[in-house]
Chains A and B, each alone.
Chain A
Amino acid sequence: MRRLGLLLIAVLLLPGVDSFSTARAQARRGVAGAGRRQPPPHVLFDRLNRMKPDQRQRALERLPPERRRLVEQRLERYNRMSPEERERLKDQYDIFRQLAPENQQAVRRMFNRFSSFPEERRALMRSELDELRQLDETGRRARLDAAEFREKFTGPERRLLEDLSAALPAPE
């Protein structure tokens, strides 16, 4: 009877042992939970920068050569940015991350439209967008309706500026 009891205890303990082994194995593998939130970029980049060269190489090799080259270039430029530049960009990115995924996608599509304009037009639009994003809804609407704005930008440019300034509020 006593042996039976002990055997029963051992059997009851086994599932716990199994969980323990699994948890240990997962810890060794470094498997992260599914569905986790994407960390902010500086965390991602720091993680990549802290990787051993062979680990980093392995991670980058997951990408096709062209995309990999682009990532390496952009990462290098990011690493060369001054702390102030990074901070400004981080503020912008924090706002962008707070958007719903579908709105983020919408902004990306707007950016594709933006990229299709020549650089001199983009420079003008960029400055205008900064101004528009600083305004409240009434002020933004007034500026968009102003004659000066209409004369300065073409129809597609105006529509894009209107959409972008509505989708991307300025940092506090």
Chain B
Amino acid sequence: MRCPMQTNEGAGALLAYCSGKLDADGSALLKRHLEECGECRKVADAQKAVWSALDAWEAMPVSADFDRNLYARIEREASSAWWTRIFGPRRFAFRPAVPLAAACAAVLAAILIKPVPPPDISSQARVESVEIEQVEQALEDLEMLKQLSAVTRGDPARNL
């Protein structure tokens, strides 16, 4: 048998085996493979441990009028306005708000506390330098073009 961990379908079969949903032939085949394959055995053992834990878990008993109270509340919620459903007093719960507020505070702190690097003087100087050199080059080129053309020289005695 090909190792189930090597293929997606096989991994599914392994999980089905652990939950007891695999047919008899498949189970027998997989059981033989588990005797040889340590990796699959490890996965199967872990999966079985999960199932055992779930089997051992006992749900808390609910009150006798739980269902009645639940349906009454659903009905109330359904008939209330949408803004009440979202912002109503019962909607606000302090406990979930704490981590949300903490996350918001973390983001805000990252924005506010993260130091904005001071203006990079050297790069600013470089920009000014580049620009002034561009100006210088443009002025030189304009002078050249003016010198080369009688049309652009309005006053022959005057240079740019």
Task: Give chain B nearest CB distance to A115 CB in angstroms.
Answer: 7
Main secondary structure of the interface of A (DSSP, over half): helix
Total A-B contacts with CB atoms under 8 angstroms apart: 144
Determine if B144 and A108 form an interchain contact, defined as CB atoms under 8 angstroms apart: yes
Determine if B103 and A92 form an interchain contact, defined as CB atoms under 8 angstroms apart: no
- Contact pattern, A 1-19, Cβ under 8 Å of B = 1, otherwise 0: 0110011011001100110
Does A52 touch B at the CB level, under 8 Å? no
The residue from A9, A20, A107, A122 contacting B103, defined by CB atoms under 8 A apart: A9
Q: Contacts A108-B144, A130-B149: A44 and B135 contacting too (C-beta < 8 A)?
A: yes
Determine if B135 and A29 form an interchain contact, defined as CB atoms under 8 angstroms apart: no
Q: Contacts A29-B124, A31-B127, A75-B139: A89 and B152 contacting too (C-beta < 8 A)?
A: yes
Question: For the complex, what is the distance from the CA of A81 to the CA of B140, rounded to whole Å?
Answer: 16
Task: Give chain B nearest CB distance to A44 CB in angstroms.
Answer: 5
Does B74 touch A at the CB level, under 8 Å? no
Does B84 touch A at the CB level, under 8 Å? no
Main secondary structure of the interface of B (DSSP, over half): helix
Determine if B111 and A78 form an interchain contact, defined as CB atoms under 8 angstroms apart: no
What class of interface size applies to chain A in its complex with B? 35 or more
Does A65 touch B at the CB level, under 8 Å? no
Task: Give chain B nearest CB distance to A168 CB in angstroms.
Answer: 7
Chain A residues with CB below 8 A from B102, complex form? 3, 6
User: Residues of B at under 8 Å CB distance from A?
Assistant: 96, 99-100, 102-103, 106-107, 110-111, 114, 116-117, 119-120, 123-125, 127-129, 131-154, 156, 158-160
The 6 A-B residue pairs with the shortest CB-CB distance, nearest first, are A41-B138, A6-B103, A74-B139, A62-B129, A92-B145, A3-B99
User: Residues of A at under 8 Å CB distance from B?
Assistant: 2-3, 6-7, 9-10, 13-14, 17-18, 20-21, 24-25, 28-32, 38-39, 41, 44-45, 47-48, 58-60, 62-63, 67, 70-71, 74-75, 77-78, 81-82, 85, 88-89, 92-93, 96, 104, 107-108, 111, 114-115, 122-123, 126-127, 129-130, 164, 168
